[in-house]
Structures are given as C-alpha cells and as structure tokens.
Amino acid sequence: MQTEQIARRLFSRLSRWLVRGIFFLVCRTKVVYFGKLPIGTGYILASNHISHFDPPFLGSRFRRYVDWMTMEELFRNRASAALMEALCAFKVRRDGTDRTGIRTAVKRLEQGRVVGVFPEGGIRAGNGSVLEGAPMWPGVSALSVLSGKPIVPSVILGTDRLYDPRNWFRIRRVAVWIGFGESISPRCDLPKKDARELIQKSLSEAFICLKERLVLQFGLAETDLPMTPQARRREKSPP
C-alpha cells in the first residue's frame, strides 16, 4: 500500500509539471495571490468554473498539490477512473447527498492536504456564475465547518477561450488570469448553521471581489470575462 501511494504521488506530480508545460506553450498566465495561504494545515481551494480546463490549469499553477473533488461521471469508465485515482482525485455526487465523498474530503483535510472544489456544481457563465452573485453548492461551507479547515477562494478567467481550437495554434498565446484571495476560516464560537451561512456569505463576496480586483489590476475588458463554450467558438477576434 505504501509503495502504491508513493507511485501515485510521483505520477500526479509529474503529470502536474507536464500539464503546466503544455499550458505554458499555449497560454500567457498571470497569477496573483491577494492574501497569504494557510500554513501547516490542510485547507479547501474553492474556485469558479468556466471550462473543463480549470482543474488541470489551477492544479498546475497553485503552490501546493490539489486533490480535486470530481463529479462521479468521470469514474464510470474504468480507464478514466484509474486516471482520476492516479491523480489523487476522488468522486462526489453533485446533488450534495454524497456522504462518502464528504468523509473522504474531511480525511484528506485532516492529513494536511489541499482539497479542490468547484462550488457552482458545473461550468457557469453570466448570471448563473458565482462571479455575478449566483447561489452555489452549500456543501463547501458545510465541509469547512465540519472539518474546521479554512477556504481559499480563487477566480480564474480566460480558460474558456481554449474551447476554440484556433486559439491553440495562434502565435500570440491566450491570456489567462488567476487570483487567490485571503483564506476564510469557520467560526467555532457559532452554532453550525450560523457558521455555515457566514462562510457561504463570505465566500460569495470573495468571488465577486476577486473578479473585480483582477479586472482592475489587468485592465480586463468585457470580452475577457467568462462566456459559454458556444459563444467562445463563435468569437471572431483573437484574444
């Protein structure tokens, strides 16, 4: 078992650097840490979700390795399931009723690892996005309160342009912006319901604030903000 764990960790880290190299060839990435990351503890990385490229992109650029909570559909195929497990990802049902997934997340947080979550429950753009104040999966706040671990909010912009195949072969690389905010810690002095609601409110505000800070810092235009994959494929002007 120990040998298997070592092999899995080695494979996952090699894959991380391989993915980072691939995206380096295609994308110009700007990463900003607006707050200090927690030290000496496990924590939750929560991000908006604009494309299927977000998990590998964030995982390859974050300072620590991320164990992603992954939709159970990716574990239905044997080959896909084997790859997800090799990358230290674990499945969770998106309807929020998966106690096994939550227990796995809590265990990994207790082991001092970083657990990655997309609280939107799927790819979102426009009014359906947390960047516009839309509701999110309450499981992320429940996980924080249950484990006693903080949440680091993150906003990623630009990866939705990778849906256009032309952008993989342009001389000028696609611009991607990532912002990591100040960690949000659960209140131990409040009833669990109140603590969850406070975390949920703080996280929602953090997503909006991070988006605005990225827009201001890099002078982003409306076209740089998330669009649907269909809209990106129809985009005529290069990024």
Residue 75, domain CATH? 3.40.1130
pLDDT of residue 97: 61
The verdict on residue 220 lying in a domain is: yes
DSSP codes joined into one string, the chain: -HHHHHHHHHHHHHHHHHHHHHHHHHEEEEEEE-SPPP-SS-EEEEE---STTHHHHHHHHSSS-EEEEEEGGGGSSHHHHHHHHHTT-EEE-TTS--HHHHHHHHHHHHTT-EEEE-TTSS---GGGSGGGT----THHHHHHHHHT--EEEEEEESGGGGGSGGGGS-SSPEEEEEEE---BPPPTTS-HHHHHHHHHHHHHHHHHHHHHHHHHHHT--GGGS---HHHHHH--S--
- One-letter amino acid at 8 equals R
The total number of structural domains in the chain stands at: 1
Identify which has the larger pLDDT, 237 or 220. 220
The residue segments making up the domain with residue 7 are 2-234
Identify which has the larger pLDDT, 67 or 11. 67
The verdict on residue 239 lying in a domain is: no
Checking if the pLDDT of 13 tops 90, the result is no
The verdict on residue 129 lying in a domain is: yes
Whole-structure pTM value: 0.92
Identify which has the larger pLDDT, 28 or 172. 28
> What are the pLDDT digits (tens) for 180-229?
999 999 998 999 999 999 999 999 999 999 999 999 999 999 999 998 77
Structure tokens at 206: 């953090």
Q: How far apart are CA 161 and CA 223, in angstroms?
A: 10
The verdict on residue 49 lying in a domain is: yes
